[in-house]
């Protein structure tokens, strides 16, 4: 059951106007609900005709004034205002000498949700205005026994909310605010109900701040909405470029969390330590200054979008898997990695690397490890390991799509034009570009970051074309090539695939996508011939 907040609060009347709560209340979008309590008519009771009896203290004035305007508050002559309202706050503005009161309407000692007021006494001691909302007269004739219908305790209401959120979002993490439940009269479609207001506030499985109104009669959910708002943040990345990305507002705190893609994209900081995922990044403004975090977040979004737009893939598992990144891992850490559940970025030592999230092909590389794990699951050792690395390079580099280099945007900040690896010319960075030159030792899991150059070169030749080792390849362009390689990774390759199996897989994939006699099949066949993989 889901009712609009408009209908829920329809029984509440703005002071003076006695009209409905206003245009904002028409909206079914719960994120607009904040307007409900500020959209009441302008100051309504500003008549200063009432004069306080001589010697009355300020609180007496509050009650005396309310008594005098009872008719405007939908109270009957026999009602005692002291039993219908309570003063909840009193503050004096030292600059003006005015006293400001906050009140709430009560029925049988229980506050009415949304029916609160402010009352103002100027420095001369005159009541100047009363603003806010009260419930209509008809709702005040609540049968006394309503409170007797209460069968649910506050603790049970909290459990009911937790249960409901768990059904929607899965197992919830630790509460960020100690759960509490307050009992109110809550107007549901004109009917006063006894309800608890409570909140589910967790960061896991995703940042949630859901406000619940739980029936005190039977524990059912009368109304709920997520207080968190989706917004677009801006920030400057590692290389000084300004960009936008999706964030969330929780209360007055912005979170580096994008709820608009799959099951979310969340960016954390390890605060230069090593526990993961660390702390969800937050900011008091939606302009973000943590450059490494800005890039990790924005590039995770770009990677998600690329997979969706180019391959129709919904995140790493094709089921919206939440993408988590942690920046500022350890100190001066010169690497980035996929740990089986999330990606992690070091800040670099400033000489070999700057913050590693500052390069889209690095982010795309690490996230592609997550795709591989969910598809071919190529063993991260020996030839399958080198293929695993190569597919991360190929797709990561194609997401950025501006050159054939890996890591050029974050590698050796003091040296211009170099990179970690090159798909076009692997030997430039000490990788083989043909099978006969492969590394056969045991370091780096049997050279996974070395022998990847062979498959990288085959991809490059298929895409770009060229004559290599006496073999001429007519290039088919990066887009066709990456479609073929992605399709091979997802459908053809297996845990133990070696280079020869990759050749077969890529040719079969090209045949599936473009046909047996196609230029694409010719290109990938010639490309593997050129790098000596048969
Ligand atoms: N950055 C490296 C990679 O993703 C980390 C590693 O050695 N696995 O390949
Ligand atoms: Zn890798
Ligand atoms: Ca790059």
The alpha carbon of 325 and the centre of ligand 2 are apart by a number of angstroms equal to: 15
In this structure, whether the domain defined by 146-226 belongs to CATH 3.10.450.40 is answered with: yes
Residue 33: predicted pLDDT:
36
The alpha carbon of 391 and the centre of ligand 2 are apart by a number of angstroms equal to: 9
Q: What is the pLDDT of residues 36-51, one digit of tens each?
A: 222 222 336 877 778 8
**278 or 229, greater pLDDT:** 278
Residue 1: predicted pLDDT:
37
Structure tokens at 297: 């977040």
Greatest distance between any 2 Cα atoms in the chain: 108
Cα–Cα distance measured from residue 217 to residue 117, given in angstroms and rounded to the nearest whole number: 28
Protein residue with its CA nearest to atom 8 in ligand 1: 337
Q: Is 400 in the pocket of ligand 1 (CB under 6 A)?
A: no
The answer to whether 267 and 279 are in contact (CB under 8 A) is no
The alpha carbon of 405 and the centre of ligand 3 are apart by a number of angstroms equal to: 6
The alpha carbon of 489 and the centre of ligand 3 are apart by a number of angstroms equal to: 22
Q: Under 8 Å CB-to-CB from 352, ≥6 apart: which residues?
A: 334, 411, 412
Whether residue 2 has pLDDT greater than 90:
no
Q: Under 8 Å CB-to-CB from 122, ≥6 apart: which residues?
A: 96, 97, 98, 128
- With bands split at pLDDT 50, 70 and 90, how would you rate the model's confidence at 499? very high
**69 or 254, greater pLDDT:** 254
Q: What is the pLDDT of residues 232-267, one digit of tens each?
A: 999 999 999 999 999 999 889 999 999 999 999 999
Residue 206: predicted pLDDT:
86
Q: Is 337 in the pocket of ligand 1 (CB under 6 A)?
A: yes
120 in catalytic set? no
Residue 185: predicted pLDDT:
86
Q: What is the pLDDT of residues 168-191, one digit of tens each?
A: 999 999 999 999 999 998 877 767
Pick the catalytic residue from 366, 383, 389, 400: 366
Q: Residue written as tokens 């076009």?
A: 424
The alpha carbon of 407 and the centre of ligand 3 are apart by a number of angstroms equal to: 5
Look at 24-28, 99-103, 125-129 and tell me which has the smallest mean pLDDT: 24-28
Q: Under 8 Å CB-to-CB from 33, ≥6 apart: which residues?
A: 5, 24, 225
The residue-averaged pLDDT of 6-13 equals 47
Structure tokens at 136: 């209509």
Within a 10 A sphere around the Cβ of 109, how many other Cβ atoms? 9
**76 or 390, greater pLDDT:** 390
The answer to whether 288 and 267 are in contact (CB under 8 A) is no
Pocket test residue of 449, 450, 451 for ligand 1, highest count of atoms within 8 A of CB: 449
- With bands split at pLDDT 50, 70 and 90, how would you rate the model's confidence at 72? confident
Structure tokens at 94: 């030292």
| Summary mean pLDDT of the chain | 89
Q: In terms of Cα–Cα distance, which of 234, 250, 332 is closest to 290?
A: 234
Whether residue 340 has pLDDT greater than 60:
yes
The answer to whether 173 and 280 are in contact (CB under 8 A) is no
Whether residue 35 has pLDDT greater than 50:
no
Any idea what DSSP says for residue 40? S
SS3 annotation, 191-238:
EEEEEEEEEEEECCCCCEEEEEEEECCCCCEEEEEECCEEEEEEEECC
The answer to whether 40 and 260 are in contact (CB under 8 A) is no
Pocket test residue of 329, 336, 448 for ligand 1, highest count of atoms within 8 A of CB: 336
Q: What percent of the chain has pLDDT over 70?
A: 89
The residue-averaged pLDDT of 116-125 equals 92
Q: Is 339 in the pocket of ligand 1 (CB under 6 A)?
A: no
Q: Under 8 Å CB-to-CB from 226, ≥6 apart: which residues?
A: 30, 31, 208, 209, 210, 211
Q: Is 335 in the pocket of ligand 1 (CB under 6 A)?
A: yes
Residue 25: predicted pLDDT:
28
**417 or 203, greater pLDDT:** 417
Cα–Cα distance measured from residue 368 to residue 381, given in angstroms and rounded to the nearest whole number: 17
Q: Under 8 Å CB-to-CB from 442, ≥6 apart: which residues?
A: none
Q: Is 366 in the pocket of ligand 1 (CB under 6 A)?
A: yes
Domain boundaries, the chain: 5-141, 146-226, 233-333, 382-530
Protein residue with its CA nearest to atom 5 in ligand 1: 337
Same CATH fold assignment for domains 146-226 and 382-530: no
The alpha carbon of 504 and the centre of ligand 3 are apart by a number of angstroms equal to: 29
Structure tokens at 44: 């309504």
CA 466 to centroid of chain Cα atoms:
44
Q: Is 381 in the pocket of ligand 1 (CB under 6 A)?
A: no
Q: Is 389 in the pocket of ligand 1 (CB under 6 A)?
A: yes
Partnered with residue 401 across adjacent β-strands are none
The alpha carbon of 257 and the centre of ligand 2 are apart by a number of angstroms equal to: 25
Within a 10 A sphere around the Cβ of 382, how many other Cβ atoms? 17
Pocket test residue of 335, 339, 356, 390 for ligand 1, highest count of atoms within 8 A of CB: 335
Cα–Cα distance measured from residue 143 to residue 105, given in angstroms and rounded to the nearest whole number: 17
Whether residue 309 has pLDDT greater than 60:
yes
Domain 382-530: CATH class, spelled out? mainly alpha
Give the N- to C-terminal CA distance of the chain in Å, as an integer. Answer: 62
Cis peptide before 486 (omega within 30 of 0): no
Q: Is 420 in the pocket of ligand 1 (CB under 6 A)?
A: no
Partnered with residue 378 across adjacent β-strands are none
Cα–Cα distance measured from residue 498 to residue 528, given in angstroms and rounded to the nearest whole number: 13
The atom number, within ligand 1, closest to the CA of 380 reads 8
Query: Which secondary structure element, helix H or strand E, spans residue 64, and what is its range?
Result: helix 58-68
Architecture of domain 233-333: Roll (3.10)
Q: Under 8 Å CB-to-CB from 229, ≥6 apart: which residues?
A: 31, 248, 249
Protein residue with its CA nearest to atom 3 in ligand 1: 337
Q: What is the pLDDT of residues 188-206, one digit of tens each?
A: 776 778 999 999 999 888 8
Residue 471: predicted pLDDT:
98
The atom number, within ligand 1, closest to the CA of 338 reads 4
3-state SS assignment for residue 407: coil
């Amino acid at each position: 059951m889901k009712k609009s907040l408009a209908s829920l609060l329809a029984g509440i009347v703005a002071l003076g106007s006695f009209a409905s709560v206003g245009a904002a209340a028409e909206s079914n979008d719960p994120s607009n609900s904040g307007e409900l309590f500020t959209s009441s008519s302008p100051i309504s009771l500003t008549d200063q005709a009432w004069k306080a009896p001589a010697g009355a203290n300020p609180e007496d004035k509050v009650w005396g004034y309310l008594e005098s305007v009872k008719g405007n508050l939908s109270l009957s002559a026999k009602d005692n205002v002291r039993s219908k309202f309570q003063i909840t706050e009193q503050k004096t503005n030292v600059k003006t000498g005015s006293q400001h009161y906050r009140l709430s309407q009560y029925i049988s000692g229980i506050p009415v949700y949304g029916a609160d007021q402010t009352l103002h006494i100027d420095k001369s001691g005159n009541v100047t205005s009363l603003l806010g909302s009260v419930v209509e007269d008809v709702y005040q004739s609540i049968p006394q026994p309503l409170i007797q219908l209460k069968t649910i305790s506050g603790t049970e209401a909290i459990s009911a909310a937790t249960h409901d959120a768990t059904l929607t979002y899965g197992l919830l993490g630790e509460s960020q605010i100690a759960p509490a439940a307050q009992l109110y009269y809550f107007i549901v479609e004109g009917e006063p109900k006894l309800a608890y207001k409570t909140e589910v506030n967790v960061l896991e499985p995703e940042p949630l701040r859901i406000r619940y109104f739980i029936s005190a009669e039977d524990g059912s959910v009368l109304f709920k909405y997520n207080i968190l708002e989706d917004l677009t943040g801006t920030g400057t990345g590692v290389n000084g470029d300004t960009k936008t990305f999706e964030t969330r507002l929780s209360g007055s705190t912005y979170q580096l969390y994008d709820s608009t893609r799959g099951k979310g994209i969340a960016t954390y900081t390890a605060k230069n330590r090593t526990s993961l995922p660390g702390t969800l990044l937050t900011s008091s403004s939606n302009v973000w200054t943590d450059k490494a975090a800005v890039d990790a977040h924005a590039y995770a979004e770009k990677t998600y979008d690329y997979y969706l737009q180019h391959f129709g893939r919904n995140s790493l598992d094709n089921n919206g898997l939440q993408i988590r990144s942690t920046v500022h891992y350890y100190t001066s850490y010169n690497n980035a990695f996929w740990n089986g559940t999330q990606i992690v970025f070091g800040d670099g030592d400033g000489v070999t690397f700057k913050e590693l999230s500052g390069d889209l092909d690095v982010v795309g590389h690490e996230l592609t490890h997550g795709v591989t794990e969910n598809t071919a699951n190529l063993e991260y050792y020996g030839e399958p390991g080198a293929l695993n690395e190569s597919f991360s390079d190929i797709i990561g580099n194609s997401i950025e799509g501006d050159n054939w280099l890996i890591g050029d945007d974050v590698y050796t900040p003091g040296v211009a034009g170099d990179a970690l690896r090159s798909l076009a010319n692997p030997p430039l960075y000490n990788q083989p570009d043909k099978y006969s030159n492969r590394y056969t030792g045991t370091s780096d899991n049997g050279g996974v970051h070395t022998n990847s150059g062979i498959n990288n070169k085959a991809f490059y030749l298929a895409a770009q074309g060229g004559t290599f080792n006496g073999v001429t390849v007519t290039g088919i362009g990066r887009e066709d090539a990456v479609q073929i390689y992605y399709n091979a990774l997802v459908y053809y390759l297996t845990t133990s695939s070696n280079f020869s199996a990759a050749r077969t897989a890529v040719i079969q994939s090209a045949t599936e996508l473009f046909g047996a006699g196609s230029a694409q099949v010719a290109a990938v066949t010639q490309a593997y011939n050129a790098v000596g993989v048969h």
